A and B are shown apart, each in its own frame.
Chain A
Amino acid sequence: QVQLVESGGGLVKPGGSLRLSCAASGFTFSDDYMSWIRQAPGKGLEWLSYISGSGTTIFYTDSLKGRFSISRDNTKNSLYLQMNSLRAEDTAVYYCARDRCSNGVCYHDYWGQGTLVTVSS
């Protein structure tokens, strides 16, 4: 069965960096787009970025302003999110999700359990 397990969250000071990982299993990882989505405490979901199966196509939401970088290692079935210049408003649970795409339409059919990132001094 499809499993996605995030790791790497924790407490970081404003201006600091963190690298999140998502270990995937149960499917052919290199076939699928993958996304990072976050949810601030008590707030709604916010999509951040996605990456194609080959890693050649990447999109980010505009609000990240180049501070975050998505990548993947298909040899390790892993997805990553490098987060730099972190701010208090980046405090959230970060989810990785598989993007199921068909006929030009995509949606997230499997999600990890999330990893909490807290940005505070």
Chain B
Amino acid sequence: EIVLTQSPGTLSLSPGERASLSCRASQSISSRYLAWYQQKPGQAPRLLIYGASSRATGIPDRFSGSGSGTDFILTISRLEPEDFAVYSCQHYGSSPRYTFGQGTKLEIK
């Protein structure tokens, strides 16, 4: 079973700054199977990135994903107030079908 470990647990930044969120897999995975979601309090998650680097429909280009093997990064180039949320990575695999990381909370400094 693939385990996804996200770091840091909490990231405190100011609007306008650049955010880099890490997702590390317990073994090498294909980047095709890595997705990122954003979740705001009281709301359902929203798909941001799939295939490690492809933005979902309607996602601003300040969001980008990268990585390969075991290390993946979600980058927000310049933080907007609405970007402060919890971000989770996800792997699509065999058993279990989907695995989520524990999430990184991006909070306003």
Contact = CB atoms under 8 A, between A and B. Distances in A.
B44 A107 contact: no
Q: Is the interface of A mostly helix, strand, loop or mixed?
A: strand
Given A105-B33, A107-B50, A108-B47, A44 B96 contact: no
A105 B51 contact: yes
B56 A44 contact: no
A28 interface: no
Interface residues of B, number: 26
A35 B32 contact: no
Interface residues of A, number: 25
Interface string B34-46: 0101010001111
Contacts of A61: 96-97
Given A111-B44, A112-B44, A114-B44, A44 B95 contact: no
